Structure 1
Amino acid sequence: MTQQTAPQETTYSTEERRREIVRLLKQANAPLTGTTLADHFGVSRQVIVQDIAVLRAAGEEIHASPRGYYMHPPGRTVWRSVVAVRHTPEQTEDELLALVDVGVEVVDVIVEHPIYGELRGNLHIASRADVAQFMQQLRETKAHLLSELTDGLHLHTLEARTNEALVRAREVLREKGYLVE
């Protein structure tokens, strides 16, 4: 399924559509946007957002990223770690590139807000192309980073296919002076 898939002629019941969403996400080689799925099924993007929420509540491990929805393939072994880091907004690209270059995915960013408690933003950045897209969106939207709420202090959940990649990620962050220990 590509991002330009035309709407299907077939009409799906709600349950059929949800089963098909799971099937498409499991087979996709890249994240699928809500708009792409909506166009595929001939429904609104809001219907897809609701379908995804219901599927997640039912236990489907569907992930959302700025690039769209995706599911990890079955049987995929993933090592996970959380790191505390601090840097300026101008150092964000350097931090993200350093992490993806050692083979880790930056799953999210987490900050502790004095009023709201834990705030989390899904990132799912795993390649240099993902970093470039994230930085472009940041520039185009002029949005602020969550870490700006906490003077640059934030957490990242990292995932990798090997524990060695996570160890190397900590080493690189330490070398750059970003790791908070």
Structure 2
Amino acid sequence: MTGKQRREEIIHILSKQEQPYSGTLLAKQLHVSRQVVVQDIALLRAENRQILSTNKGYLLLAENDTTRVFKVHHTNEQARDEMNLIVDLGGKIEDVFVYHRVYGVLKAPLNIKSRRDVDRYLREIELGNSTLLLNVTAGYHYHTISADDQKTLDLIQEELDKAGFLASLQDYEPVNFWKS
């Protein structure tokens, strides 16, 4: 199998997944090392393939996915309202991340697309005696939101602003969080 064929197979495998798929499993399935998979993922991203890396593996965003990063601010008690607002308007909360001046970007995948997902996520936080990531940065955090079109993202942005959840970027925050 050539490198090009292997990368096409990676896209084929990831396109069937709804949850992150581990690089180790990809490597075993393709009979290559984990490092080869990492290099292939980098090459695919260079071709503008939208592949998210999470702590549980890789996730391929569909070609027609439209995403936008929103910086938001709220309390723990307002988290449910913020997330329900997004999913009710047709958005999918891909992740949550914070930008910490010392630690840099701390990110966790969410994949929340319904009120049921919101309820499940918040219940897991409570049962795990955990706290929301927003607490690391005094309530400020970011979400990558995907939707079917830019119009939906515009509506989500407008409603987040009306609800008082949108926050402004500060001078010390990088504009592109994903470049090293």
Same fold (TM over 0.5): yes
What residue in structure 1 maps to residue 129 of structure 2? 142
Q: Please state how far the C-alpha of 1:21 moved relative to its aligned partner.
A: 5.7
> Does the CA contact (< 8 Å) of 2:54 and 2:108 recur in 1?
no
List alignment gaps of at least 5 residues for structure 1.
1-15, 42-46
Is residue 147 of structure 2 the alignment partner of residue 160 of structure 1?
yes
What residue in structure 1 maps to residue 44 of structure 2? 59
Once the two structures are superposed, residues 57-96 of structure 1 have per-residue CA deviations (whole angstroms, 9 ceiling, x without a partner) of 34264435688753234xx323332222111112212211
Q: Could you say what secondary structure the match of 1:24 adopts?
A: helix
Instruction: Decide whether aligned partners of structure 1 residues 48 and 104 sit closer, same or farther in structure 2, where only a CA change above 3 A counts.
Output: farther
Instruction: Decide whether aligned partners of structure 1 residues 176 and 123 sit closer, same or farther in structure 2, where only a CA change above 3 A counts.
Output: same
Is residue 19 of structure 2 the alignment partner of residue 31 of structure 1?
yes
Q: Could you say what secondary structure the match of 1:173 adopts?
A: helix
Instruction: Decide whether aligned partners of structure 1 residues 131 and 66 sit closer, same or farther in structure 2, where only a CA change above 3 A counts.
Output: farther
Instruction: Decide whether aligned partners of structure 1 residues 142 and 53 sit closer, same or farther in structure 2, where only a CA change above 3 A counts.
Output: farther
TM-score (structure 1 length as normaliser): 0.66
> Does the CA contact (< 8 Å) of 1:65 and 1:124 recur in 2?
no
Give aligned pairs, total: 163
Q: Distance in 1 between matches of 2:104 and 2:20?
A: 31
Aligned Cα RMSD in Å? 3.7
Matching residue within 154, 165, 170 for 1:178: 165
Q: Distance in 1 between matches of 2:123 and 2:55?
A: 12
List alignment gaps of at least 5 residues for structure 2.
169-180
Q: Distance in 1 between matches of 2:36 and 2:120?
A: 26
Q: Distance in 1 between matches of 2:34 and 2:83?
A: 28
Matching residue within 118, 132, 142 for 2:119: 132
Is residue 71 of structure 2 the alignment partner of residue 71 of structure 1?
no
What residue in structure 2 maps to residue 7 of structure 1? none
Instruction: Decide whether aligned partners of structure 1 residues 32 and 155 sit closer, same or farther in structure 2, where only a CA change above 3 A counts.
Output: closer
Which 4+ residue blocks in structure 1 deviate beyond 3 angstroms? 16-22, 47-55, 60-70
> Does the CA contact (< 8 Å) of 2:51 and 2:59 recur in 1?
yes
Instruction: Decide whether aligned partners of structure 1 residues 62 and 105 sit closer, same or farther in structure 2, where only a CA change above 3 A counts.
Output: same
What residue in structure 2 maps to residue 109 of structure 1? 96
